[in-house]
Every structure is written in C-alpha cells, then in structure tokens.
Amino acid sequence: MNPPRQRTHWRRRPSACWVLEGLVVLLLAASSAQAVEVRPSTFDTISEEGRQALESARFDDALCIFERAQVMAAGDEESGWRALLGLGLTYENLGRLPEAVAAYRSFLARSEALEDGLTEAWRQKRAIVLETVEQLHRRLMATHALVTVESTP
C-alpha cells in the first residue's frame, strides 16, 4: 500500500502577472532590437497599471505589478521610491501591515540620503509616509509584538 501523497499548496499567480511578464519580455526584446530608450515609459505604464489595480481593489494584481515595477526601477531612485510606495499601499490594503511598514521604511531610508535635493512634493510624501509608519506601528503594537531588523550591506 502506497503512503498518502502530501499535498503541496501552490499560490496561483494572478493572470495579470503572466500578461505583465509577457509584456516586459516583448518590450525588452524590442528595446534590444532598436536603439531607443523604452524603460521610462515602460515603468510609467507599469506604475499606472498598479495604481489602477489599487483603485479597483485588485490588491493581488497590484502586488505583482509593483513587485515588477521595483525590479524595473533598479538604478533609478525616483522610480524605486514610487514602486516602494505602491508596495506599501498594497500591503496595507491587504492587511499585511508588517510588510507595509517595511516598504515604507525602505522608501524613507532610500530617500533620506537625498533629502537636501528633494522637491517639495517629495518632502511632503516623506512626511505623510513617516506619519503613516507611526500610525501602523501603533496599530501593530496594540495586537502584535513587532521586531524589525535593519542592516546595511
């Protein structure tokens, strides 16, 4: 008699993830075939799709989109900040508050180094995010023990 098979639970990826990955592959292929810069408009498109997913309460799709946006933003600080803010909002809406705090703190840490050169709009965003982190931290401390580890590579 064979032993019972253990079930492996796989999280099904939202369909938008597959479409998004296909779009990224096509855009990368097109950019390598042509000598044009498509990265900024691609990031903006992905970021807008994430914003729309958030507004439509499609939080799993938004998470996938903003994770992809974060990868695409490598090397571009402002785009990286936008992706982190999108991730923070998404995690917050999913009720994953520790992850939201981590994304927001990452944004604050990365943007702090350039604080002197920030526009007024980014300074205001930083102030809002700082207040949001404090509020989330208070909510978490009421029901959870919160341990955070910060390191510098």
- Provide mean pLDDT across the span 73-91: 91
List of residues 6+ apart from 89 with CB closer than 8 A: 54, 62, 100
Task: Give the tokens for residue 76.
Answer: 């571009």
Query: Which one, of 54, 76, 74, lies nearest residue 63 by Cα?
Result: 54
Task: Give the tokens for residue 75.
Answer: 């090397």
Q: ∠91-127-119 over CA atoms, to 5°?
A: 110
Q: Which pLDDT does position 77 carry in this prediction?
A: 86
For the whole model, what pTM was predicted? 0.65
The pLDDT tens digits of the residues spanning 46-76 come to: 999 999 999 999 999 999 999 999 998 888 8
Query: Which one, of 116, 140, 139, lies nearest residue 126 by Cα?
Result: 116
